Amino acid sequence: MRIRAARLGELPVLQDIERAAGRCFRDIGMSQIAEDEPLPLGELARYHRAGLAWVAADDNDAPVAYLIADRVEGNLHVEQVSVHPGSARRGIGRSLLDHLAARARSEGAPALTLTTFTQVPWNAPYYARCGFEPMDDHTLAPGLRKIREREAAHGLDRWPRVCMRRVL
């Protein structure tokens, strides 16, 4: 797999990857997450323009996974990382996270952050294996607190969630 910047014309493919990856949530009783629509094309284009959207491409240069990030409080924050189920369990998600970590280091960012479900095996337990550690919700800085509030308003707090941080 080769990691490269996402191309503008590929943004609908990123939506398809997220939909496919989201179907796994149905199997664990989280059908609302499985049915949740991916970010609109305009929002994905914002990440593209900011240079904060990457894909893992197969041998035919077709995206099979993607990661988008924001800058939050001096860190790079993983907004979304999705791997198509047909390409899962090959280290692609970890490679995308490592790519983001290298980018963050080059910018002088001290850490990566993300928010995720605590009880989904391919969420918090996976990120812990990738070097992320849980953060105390009571000590979150305003930017991460705002992200958590937005997630709660979207209904994501129906299931336990956590902020995590990977020091670089």
pTM for the predicted model, two decimal places? 0.94
Given a contact cutoff of 8 angstroms between Cβ atoms, the answer to whether 8 and 63 are in contact is no
Owning domain of residue 37: 2-167
**For residue 35, what is the domain's CATH number?**
3.40.630.30
Greatest CA span in the chain, whole angstroms? 46
Spatial strand order in the sheet of 63-72? 2-5, 53-57, 63-72, 75-83, 111-117, 161-167, 133-134
- C-alpha distance from residue 99 to each of 23, 62, 96, 149, 161 (Å): 26, 18, 5, 28, 24
d(CA 45, CA 88): 25
Q: What is the pLDDT along the chain (168 residues), one digit of tens a residue?
A: 899 999 999 999 999 999 999 999 999 999 989 898 999 999 999 999 999 999 999 999 999 999 999 999 999 999 999 999 999 889 999 999 999 999 999 999 999 999 999 999 999 999 999 999 999 988 899 999 999 999 999 889 899 999 999 999
Q: Give the total number of structural domains in the chain.
A: 1
Contact call for residues 109 and 76 (beta carbons, < 8 A): yes
Measured CA distances, 36 to 13, 15, 72, 99 (Å): 16, 11, 24, 27
